[in-house]
Amino acid sequence: MGDKPSRYLLIESQGNWAGPNAGRFLGDASALAKSGHQVSVFLVQDGVFAAVNDSVPEIATLAELGATVWADDFSTAQRALPARSLSPHVKLVGMDSVAKLLMSDGCRAVWH
């Protein structure tokens, strides 16, 4: 890895109720951002529930650290979560945005 910051895409598919690992995964994203890495978090499937308002404080922390937080537009629609119910720190995106980042040079992806 060397001294050069890496680009990370962390994909969270589990809901808040799935146990402490969901929160730890977002904590790992924060640790990477604090270390100077470029971090994007993509909330998909039941992971989109973390994007609702301020239900998960790690989302605001990630935004403060300069990380990008995305929620899957399809998953939010399937769970009847309107855009107005999401945290202001979260952007709704489609899979095309995720695929573009995933295919970029030096991107490391981790799925939870």
Q: Report the C-alpha gap between 39 and 65 in whole angstroms.
A: 9
* Domain-embedded: residue 23: yes
The pLDDT, as a whole number, for residue 2 is 53
Question: What is the residue range of 82's domain?
Answer: 7-111
Q: Is the pLDDT of residue 51 over 70?
A: yes
The pLDDT, as a whole number, for residue 1 is 46
Each residue's pLDDT tens digit, 75-103: 999 999 998 999 999 999 999 999 999 88
Q: Is the pLDDT of residue 40 over 80?
A: yes
* Domain-embedded: residue 85: yes
- Going by pLDDT thresholds of 50, 70 and 90, the confidence category of residue 109 is confident
**Tokens 């537009």 -> residue:** 73
Q: What is the CATH number of the domain that holds 91?
A: 3.40.1260.10
List all residues 6 or more positions away from 37 whose beta carbon is below 8 Å from its beta carbon: 5, 6, 7, 8
* Domain-embedded: residue 2: no
The pLDDT, as a whole number, for residue 57 is 87
Please state the domain count of the chain: 1
* Domain-embedded: residue 103: yes
* Domain-embedded: residue 39: yes
* Domain-embedded: residue 1: no
- Going by pLDDT thresholds of 50, 70 and 90, the confidence category of residue 5 is low
Q: Mean pLDDT: which of 1-15, 48-62, 74-88 is highest?
A: 74-88
| pTM listed for this prediction | 0.89
The pLDDT, as a whole number, for residue 11 is 94
